Amino acid sequence: MGDKVKEHPGAAGRATAADHPASVRNVVLVGHSGAGKTTLVEALALTAGAVNRAGRVEDGGTVSDYDDIEHRQQRSVQLSLVPVDWNGIKINILDTPGYADFVGELRAGLRAADAALFVVSASDGVDGSTRMVWEECAAVGMPRAIVVTHLEAARADFEEMTRVCAEAFGGDDPDAVLPLYLPLHGPQGPDGHAPVTGLVGLLTQKLFDYSSGERKESEPGPDQLPDIDEARNRLIEGIIAESEDETLMDRYLGGEQIDLKTLIEDLERAVARGTFFPVLAAAPAAEGARQGLGTVELLELVTGGFPTPFEHPTPGVTTVDGRPREIKPCDTGGPLVAEVVKTASDPYVGRVSLVRVFSGTLRPDETVHVSGHGLADRGHEDHDVDEKIGALSTPFGKQQRPVTHVIAGDLACVAKLGRAETGDTLSAKDDPLLMEPWEMPDPLLPLAIEAHSKADEDKLSQGLARLVAEDPTMRLEQNQDTHQVVLWCLGEAHADVALERLRSRYGVQVDVVPHRVSLRETFAGRSAGRGRHVKQSGGHGQFAICEIEVEPLPGGSGIEFVDKVVGGAVPRQFIPSVEKGIRAQAVKGVAAGYQLVDVRVTLLDGKAHSVDSSDAAFQTAGALALREAAADARIHLLEPVAEVSVLVGDDYVGAVMSDLSGRRGRVLGTEQTSGGRTLIKAEVPEFEIGRYAVDLRSLSHGTARFSRSYARHEPMPPQIAEKIREQAKEAS
């Protein structure tokens, strides 16, 4: 797209509120950790004039000043927005974390964007997680391009990296993944490495030299043309193959020279449709330079080849009571429909919500309806509230630049939405609407926590509520069986960030404790027990005797109580008291302190006193009878068993199945799926999969996914059960 390059806009590159959706491009950067996404964002901001040569914005700070935690951990942990301007087009660049633990931030970026730039390192290649994200984008038809970074590495090879990308992303059509530019190399250094100093445009046949720090255009020499022709011809054939003009290929093969304007227009349409995926190269600017290699070409592709928000279908919209609502894509005059794609806390202005507007126009100081539905299982209760929003702004690093309004298709930050959470819908208060939520990854790593001190205990509840409001990929559980507070996270890094935010942002110090699994107890066979509660100490005493029989029931039966008393041995008014005492003792357990389940308790006989018998006495007698029956019986400890589904690449099936067997798992079957992957279904005790989210990622090099659901409780192996009983005795 070299023929469309305009003059560098310099300091005019600051992005403000857009006036029309056609002048907006929303692009998300995707790639594994270390691929150079944030460095690329800074290079684009420099070329667009949004930062100076020192990488700083006009009012202080750098474009990468996002979060203190990111600086401490030396990696991106959250979605960040950097708006820049190029030739009158506002580009909202969404920088996403590359680490798998923060895939929730990536999904939010995909929701807010209209196109994606896949950033791959020339020295590291394409990892499995990046391939999976590519498939997610393909499933929704999102336009994509590929940017190759780290060309300065000694073993970097742009041509080889392009081949790898075509193999990884091209599917059945590798000619849909082709370079628009080839790198130009300077003289070889002492180590034999020739640095990349510029690019050659395959369509325009122009040279773009960046060696001076400024992009300079020139014509190729006669000796360079033969090397360009082969790649150029393949690119032209790839573009023509995607053309809507079916005669174009025949004309080209017949020897007709297709004019450059037609080729570029067809290229832009194919990119916007998501059927052609150009490969470009980029590198940060050298010290003191004004432009990074390939950044002008990349900005031209985004503004000229990526779609406008008009071409992004609006996600499903309903009324808050579930009736479908038709919403035109990107209608600035339509009903207000916006979505919170990220929530953050600012120490000075409070909660700040990053919002994508899909319809209507958002203005400051107006009252909007905030709807949040469908995430109750993650600790986010459904809610419908009206709130008055505060100031609107666009972020840049840690700075917030005020804007007067936000139109459909644009993104901005909204202040003072105290109740809004990530994933919530903003709409007009007199026309409340709800957007279908995007798919959230399921957090599968449990983190049990306790307040460090009494002062922390007082702040813990509020801190946790604010934490999960910011991050819908985190689930908060108050486990009624183990009495533990559990944060379910996506991985260890996700858990570390959660703890750090609790400490530094909300002032709550917590201790991590071992996560306990909800065990159960049951009788292995029939047993009988007698409960005798007789006390006399002057005045009214206590008198209650009952005799019971206990027998096991099938799993899932709970506690069944049967009355077989004859002759009034236990008066009718006290039989419910016996049952109440038995059920209360069952909750406390009879062997190791875990709830008793799946037994039938039959009341056979008993004795009462006309004066000293009471409700309380028979409750106590019922509990004593159950404990005595347990003392003479063999008690099984039941552990929860999960049904686990693992989607893994065929190369790792053997390793995963072997690992599941080592976790006392039973493989139920396998199923071949698309993309060279296998779905493994198994049943595994929950004791064995507490850290499976971490272990599976390591085992499969980040390419496998799994889900789990409760299946049932079943008896533990005797040796493990005995160890738990001993631990219970020591703790008591």
Contact 362, 412 (CB under 8 A): yes
DSSP-derived letter for residue 547 is: E
Give the helix/strand (H/E) hosting 18. none
CB atoms inside a 10 Å sphere around CB 245? 12
| Mean of pLDDT over the chain | 88
**Per-residue confidence band for 68, with pLDDT thresholds at 50, 70 and 90:** low
Q: From edge to edge, which strands make up the β-sheet containing 350-359?
A: 383-388, 367-372, 425-428, 337-346, 350-359, 411-415, 392-396, 399-403
Tell whether the model's pLDDT for residue 731 goes beyond 80. no
* Two tokens, residue 114: 């209209």
In this structure, CATH architecture of domain 317-435: Beta Barrel (2.40)
What is residue 147's predicted lDDT score, i.e. its pLDDT? 96
Say if domain 450-513 classifies as CATH 3.30.70.870: yes
Residue 230 to residue 367: CA distance in whole angstroms: 60
Tell whether the model's pLDDT for residue 76 goes beyond 80. no
DSSP 597-638: -SEEEEEEEEE--TTT--HHHHHHHHHHHHHHHHHTS-EEEE
Query: Higher-confidence residue: 243 or 14?
Result: 243
Model pTM score: 0.85
What is residue 550's predicted lDDT score, i.e. its pLDDT? 97
Contact 118, 145 (CB under 8 A): yes
DSSP-derived letter for residue 286 is: P
**Per-residue confidence band for 125, with pLDDT thresholds at 50, 70 and 90:** confident
Contact 603, 562 (CB under 8 A): yes
Q: From edge to edge, which strands make up the β-sheet containing 445-451?
A: 475-478, 485-489, 445-451, 510-513
Of 624, 555, 528, residue with least CA distance to 585: 624
Contact 446, 486 (CB under 8 A): yes
What is residue 252's predicted lDDT score, i.e. its pLDDT? 86
What is residue 170's predicted lDDT score, i.e. its pLDDT? 87
CATH 3.40.50.300 in the chain, residue ranges? 2-311
Q: Helix, strand, or coil here: 65? A: coil
Tell whether the model's pLDDT for residue 180 goes beyond 60. yes
What is residue 220's predicted lDDT score, i.e. its pLDDT? 84
Distance in Å from the first CA to the final CA of the chain: 75
Contacts of 454 (CB under 8 A, 6+ apart): none
**Cα maximum dimension of the chain:** 118
- Residue 714 has phi, psi (to 5 degrees) of -145, 160
Query: Higher-confidence residue: 419 or 377?
Result: 419
CATH 2.40.30.10 in the chain, residue ranges? 317-435
- Provide the b/e sequence for 636-667 (b: ≥16 CB within 10 Å): bbbbbbbebebbbbeebbeebbebbeeebbeb
Q: Which of 15-19, 44-48, 247-251, 385-389 is predicted with the least confidence, judged by mean pLDDT?
A: 15-19
Q: Helix, strand, or coil here: 258? A: coil
What is residue 544's predicted lDDT score, i.e. its pLDDT? 95
Residue 498 to residue 142: CA distance in whole angstroms: 31
Residue 36 to residue 293: CA distance in whole angstroms: 14
Supply the CATH classification number for the domain 520-633. 3.30.230.10
* Two tokens, residue 315: 């996600």
Place of tokens 């929860």: 640
What is residue 401's predicted lDDT score, i.e. its pLDDT? 87
Q: Which amino acid is at 303?
A: T
Q: Which of 116-125, 369-378, 577-586 is predicted with the least confidence, judged by mean pLDDT?
A: 369-378
Percent of the chain with pLDDT over 70: 92
Tell me what the mean pLDDT of segment 507-533 comes to.
95
DSSP 323-390: -B----TT-TTS--EEEEEEEEEETTTEEEEEEEEEESEE-TT-EEEEEE-S-GGGT---EEEEEE--
* Two tokens, residue 352: 């700040």
**Per-residue confidence band for 56, with pLDDT thresholds at 50, 70 and 90:** low
Tell whether the model's pLDDT for residue 139 goes beyond 90. no
CATH 3.30.230.10 in the chain, residue ranges? 520-633
Range of 48-62, 194-208, 534-548 with top mean pLDDT: 194-208
- Please, how many CA atoms are within 13 Å of residue 688, restricted to the half-sphere of its CB? 20
What is residue 2's predicted lDDT score, i.e. its pLDDT? 40
What is residue 60's predicted lDDT score, i.e. its pLDDT? 46
- Residue 98 has phi, psi (to 5 degrees) of -100, -10
Tell me what the mean pLDDT of segment 448-463 comes to.
92
Contact 352, 345 (CB under 8 A): yes
Tell me what the mean pLDDT of segment 672-701 comes to.
92
What is residue 3's predicted lDDT score, i.e. its pLDDT? 36
Contact 40, 284 (CB under 8 A): yes
Residue 435 to residue 172: CA distance in whole angstroms: 35
* 346 alpha-carbon distance from chain centroid: 22
Distance set, CA 3 to CA 6, 296, 299 (Å): 9, 12, 13
Q: Helix, strand, or coil here: 187? A: coil
Percent of the chain with pLDDT over 90: 61
With 0-12 / 13-18 / 19 or more C-beta atoms within 10 angstroms meaning exposed / middle / buried, residue 253 is exposed
DSSP-derived letter for residue 441 is: P
**Per-residue confidence band for 9, with pLDDT thresholds at 50, 70 and 90:** very low
Q: Which of 390-399, 442-451, 515-524, 660-669 is predicted with the least confidence, judged by mean pLDDT?
A: 390-399
Domain 2-311: CATH superfamily is: P-loop containing nucleotide triphosphate hydrolases (3.40.50.300)
Supply the CATH classification number for the domain 638-731. 3.30.70.240
Place of tokens 């709130």: 387
Contacts of 193 (CB under 8 A, 6+ apart): 154
Residue 663 to residue 372: CA distance in whole angstroms: 39
**Per-residue confidence band for 11, with pLDDT thresholds at 50, 70 and 90:** very low
CATH 3.30.70.870 in the chain, residue ranges? 450-513
What is residue 6's predicted lDDT score, i.e. its pLDDT? 34
Contacts of 274 (CB under 8 A, 6+ apart): 137, 138, 141, 142, 143, 144
Estimate the crossing angle of helix 692-699 against helix 653-662, to 10 degrees.
Answer: 150
Contact 289, 295 (CB under 8 A): no
